[in-house]
Amino acid sequence: MAAVCDGPRMASGMQDKQYTPSLLSFFIYNPTFGPREGEEEKKILFYHPIDVEKNEKIRNVGLCEAIVQFTRTFCPTKPAKSLHTQKNRQFFFEPEDNFWIVMVVRNPMIEKPNKDGKPPTTEYQEEEILDTVYGAVVRQCYSMYKLFNGTFGRAMEAGGVELLIQKLEKFFYRYLQTLHLQSCDLLDVFGGISFFPLDKMTYLKIQSFVNRVEESLSLIKYTAFLYNDQLIWSGLEQDDMRILYKYLTTSLFPRHSEPELAGRDSPLRPEVTGNLLHYGRFLTGPTNFKDPEAKFRFPKIFVSTEDGYEELHLIVYKAMSAAACFMINASVELTRAFCEQLDSLVGPQLTLLASDICEQFTINRRIAGPEKEPQFKFIYFNHMNLAEKSTIHMRKTASVSLTSVHPDLMKILGDINCDFARVDEDEEIIVKAMTDYWVVGKKSDQRELYVILNQKNANLIEVNEEVKRLCATQFNNIFFLD
In a domain, 28, yes or no: yes
Residue 369 has pLDDT above 70, yes or no: no
Residue 315 has pLDDT above 70, yes or no: yes
> What mean pLDDT do residues 76-98 have?
89
End-to-end CA distance of the chain: 47
Residue 1 has pLDDT above 50, yes or no: no
Residue 399 has pLDDT above 70, yes or no: no
If pLDDT is split at 50, 70 and 90, which confidence band does 118 have?
Answer: confident
Out of 14-18, 254-258, 426-430, 465-469, pick the least confident. Answer: 254-258
Residue 7 has pLDDT above 50, yes or no: no
Name the average pLDDT for the chain: 83
Give the pLDDT of residue 477: 60
User: Into how many domains does the chain fold?
Assistant: 3
* Residue 379 zone, left/alpha/beta (φ > 0; ψ -120 to 50; rest): beta
Residue 271 has pLDDT above 50, yes or no: no
Give the pLDDT of residue 458: 78
Do 171 and 233 reside in the same domain of the chain?
no
In a domain, 345, yes or no: yes
Do 171 and 253 reside in the same domain of the chain?
no
CATH of the domain at 417: 3.30.450
Residue 61 has pLDDT above 90, yes or no: no
- Residue 198 to residues 212, 346, 355, 383, Cα–Cα distance (Å): 20, 21, 14, 21
Residue 398 has pLDDT above 70, yes or no: no
Cα angle for residues 321, 325, 326 (degrees, 5° grid): 145
In a domain, 66, yes or no: yes
Cross-strand pairs, 451:
378, 440
In a domain, 86, yes or no: yes
Give the pLDDT of residue 476: 63
Cis peptide before 286 (omega within 30 of 0): no
Per residue in 179-213, pLDDT (tens digit) is 888 888 888 999 999 998 888 888 999 999 999 99
Boundary-marking domain end, from 184, 218, 233: 184
In a domain, 268, yes or no: no
The Cβ of residue 87 has, within 10 Å, a number of other Cβ atoms equal to 12
Out of 192-201, 236-245, 462-471, pick the least confident. Answer: 462-471
> What mean pLDDT do residues 148-167 have?
92
Do 345 and 447 reside in the same domain of the chain?
no
In a domain, 8, yes or no: no
Do 393 and 246 reside in the same domain of the chain?
no
Residue 10 has pLDDT above 80, yes or no: no
Residue 112 has pLDDT above 60, yes or no: yes
Give the pLDDT of residue 141: 94
Per residue in 317-336, pLDDT (tens digit) is 998 889 999 999 999 998 88
Do 410 and 340 reside in the same domain of the chain?
no
Do 305 and 361 reside in the same domain of the chain?
yes
Give the pLDDT of residue 372: 58
If pLDDT is split at 50, 70 and 90, which confidence band does 256 have?
Answer: confident
Do 341 and 384 reside in the same domain of the chain?
no
User: Would you call 97 exposed, middle or buried from its count of C-beta atoms within 10 A (0-12, 13-18, 19+)?
Assistant: exposed
Out of 130-139, 167-176, 417-426, 469-478, pick the least confident. Answer: 469-478
In a domain, 10, yes or no: no
Contact criterion met (CB below 8 Å) for 30 and 41? no
Boundary-marking domain end, from 368, 398, 417: 368
Q: What proportions of the chain, in percent to the nearest 5, are helix, strand and coil?
A: 35, 30, 35
Give the pLDDT of residue 401: 60
The amino acid occupying position 444 is: S
In a domain, 228, yes or no: yes
- Residue 117 to residues 12, 19, 114, 120, 122, Cα–Cα distance (Å): 16, 21, 7, 9, 15
Gap between the Cα atoms of 83 and 176, Å rounded: 21
CATH of the domain at 236: 3.30.450.30
Gap between the Cα atoms of 366 and 220, Å rounded: 38
Do 337 and 418 reside in the same domain of the chain?
no
Do 110 and 223 reside in the same domain of the chain?
no
Per residue in 388-397, pLDDT (tens digit) is 998 888 765 5
If pLDDT is split at 50, 70 and 90, which confidence band does 120 have?
Answer: confident
Boundary-marking domain end, from 152, 184, 216: 184
Residue 11 has pLDDT above 50, yes or no: no
Per residue in 401-459, pLDDT (tens digit) is 667 778 888 889 999 998 888 888 888 888 888 778 889 898 988 889 998 888 777 78
Per residue in 65-74, pLDDT (tens digit) is 888 888 888 8
Which H or E run contains 82?
Answer: strand 82-84
Residue 56 has pLDDT above 70, yes or no: yes
CATH of the domain at 53: 3.30.450.70
289-297 CB contacts, 8 Å cutoff, 24+ apart: 289/336, 289/339, 289/340, 289/343, 294/336, 296/334, 296/335, 296/336, 296/338, 296/339
Do 362 and 410 reside in the same domain of the chain?
no
What is the pTM for the complete model shown? 0.86
DSSP-assigned letter for residue 387: B
> What mean pLDDT do residues 216-233 have?
93
Q: Which residue has the higher pLDDT, 294 or 343?
A: 343
Do 139 and 241 reside in the same domain of the chain?
no
- Residue 170 to residues 68, 185, 313, Cα–Cα distance (Å): 27, 27, 19
Do 234 and 289 reside in the same domain of the chain?
yes
If pLDDT is split at 50, 70 and 90, which confidence band does 224 have?
Answer: very high
* Structural domain for 92, as ranges: 17-184
